[in-house]
Structures are given as structure tokens and as C-alpha cells.
Amino acid sequence: MDFRFKRGRLANRFAAFRSSRVFRRIWGWVSEKGLPVLRKTVLWGSFGILAFAAISYASVEIAAFGRTYSQPDSVPKNAVGLVLGTSAKTADGRPNAYFANRITAAAELYREKRVDCLLVSWDNSTLHYNEIKSMQLALMEKGIPPERIFGDYAGFRTLDSMVRAKEVFWLSRFTVVSQSSHAKRAVFLARLSGSDAIAFEAETPPFFAWPIPVLREFPARTLAFYEAVLVEMRPKFLGKSERIETDPAVRPVPPKVCYPR
């Protein structure tokens, strides 16, 4: 009873306020000036966001133009292929076609002797989440020797993987392995970090069966442009040097070597 009484009092006070001169003046200003200003703000804000997204998308395409390949025998030779990680299974437990196709593409690149070694880069931030191991095992099943597979356990994002390839693994040239749209974004980020990167495109699964990775690429490119160009964001974790040596003449021999086959 007390609650209903208080609610009635509040309703009466609000009704009185709506009929007051102050409310009529405020509402008149909002209707006359506030709403048009708000509409213009929303309109120009939306236009600005779309324009920025379009510039970001075009910048990635321009940076990757002529640097992506769909046939392994046309890929220029590099010592190391950088395989960008993804989960082996989807959230509902299905085998991930993006994962399988990247593994297949990386193995094909190795068999064609377009790379001598593979560096797999993905998130290994918890003990219960080790997709690097899944990728290494899948590559070994394809016939890649384990000593020719290295792991980057702090590739939390594409930006992290590209910067760490340059600054942690000392790779000034490498071949990215991923699906076309993702590979182009990776080349864009790699070039901004100072690497001369190219990409081999893994097969992209059908859109209607796997729509989310395709749809997320537009905002992903916008975020990549913002982080890499405007704020110059650094990797979440850089860590110590893990140089992959490709020159057999270097002495002493470092722990990670990728000599020509």
C-alpha cells in the first residue's frame, strides 16, 4: 500500500512538472534546436565512421596489392612461412575449416620448397588453451619435420604476430599463410612494422557455411588501421629475443635455426 502511494505521488509530481512553464520551455528548445543538432551529429558521425572504415579497407588492399598468391608454385621463396592461428574446432565442436585449410596451405608451401621452415603464431595465454600444439601436430601429420616448426606463443592478435615476427624472431622477410582477406591485413600490418612480407592464400570456406570470419573482416581492418597507424599500438607481450637464424655461416649456432633445405 505504501509503495503504491509513493508511486502515485511521483506520478502526480511528474504530471505537474510536464504542465509547468519550465518544462514547456525546455521541450520547445529541444524540439526547435536540440533535435536538429542531434540529427546532424548522428548523420555526420555516421558518415565519418563509414569514411574512416572505407579508407582503412582501401589501405589494406593497396598495401597488399601484388603481394598475395593463390598458387604455391608462384610464391617467391622465403626462409620462413608464418602460419596465423585459429581454433581447431568451432564453439559448437565442429572441425574448423579455416584451421584445416591453413594447415593444408602451409604444408603445400613447404612441399613445394617455397619455405624452409614454418612459424605458427597463436594465443597460448592459459594452460587449457594451447592451439599452437594443435597446429604443430597437424603440420607433423602432413609430413613436416618437427625441427622445421617453430611456435610463437604470444600471437594474441594479428598485429602482435607481425610485430613479434620482426622484433622477436628477427624475420625481415617471410610468407604469411592465411585466408585471403586476413592475409592481406597481415601483410599490411607486417609492412608497417618494417617487414617485407608476402602471403600465400589458403582456401576460404563457403560464405554461407562460415559467414562470421568474412563479416568481421571489415571492422577488423578498421581497427587494424586505427591501432597501427593512428595510435601505433604495440604487442601485448614482446618478451625476449628468439631469433630464427637462416644463415648457416653464423657462429655460434643459435637455438633456433632454419637452414636452406
pTM of the full structure: 0.81
Verify cis geometry, omega within 30 degrees of 0, for the bond prior to 248. Answer: no
**Domain limits at 201?**
62-257
Is residue 30 a part of any domain in this protein? no
Cβ–Cβ < 8 Å for 125, 157: no
Phi, psi of 78 (to 5 degrees): -135, 155
Is 119 domain-assigned? yes
User: Beta strand pairing status for 149-152 and 173-179?
Assistant: unpaired
The residues that bridge with 174 in the sheet, in sequence order, are 197
How many whole angstroms separate alpha carbon 200 and alpha carbon 80? Answer: 12
Residue 153 inside a domain? The answer is yes
Residue 220, domain CATH: 3.40.50
Q: What is the pLDDT of residues 66-119, one digit of tens each?
A: 999 999 999 999 999 999 988 888 888 888 999 999 999 999 999 999 999 999
d(CA 79, CA 247): 10
In a domain? residue 44: no
Smallest CA-to-CA distance from 204 within 182, 175, 174, 176 is with 182
The predicted pLDDT at position 3 comes to 44
Domain annotation covers residue 127: yes
Is residue 20's pLDDT more than 70? no
Assigned domain for 107 exists: yes
Total count of domains within the chain = 1
> Measuring CA to CA, how many Å separate 106 from each of 13, 136, 178, 202, 246?
71, 11, 9, 8, 19
> In terms of Cα–Cα distance, which of 260, 225, 257, 227 is closest to 242?
257
**75 lies in a domain?**
yes
Specify if 118 maps to a domain: yes
- Average pLDDT of the residues of the chain: 85
Tens-digit pLDDT profile for residues 120-161 = 998 766 555 567 888 999 999 999 999 999 999 888 899 999
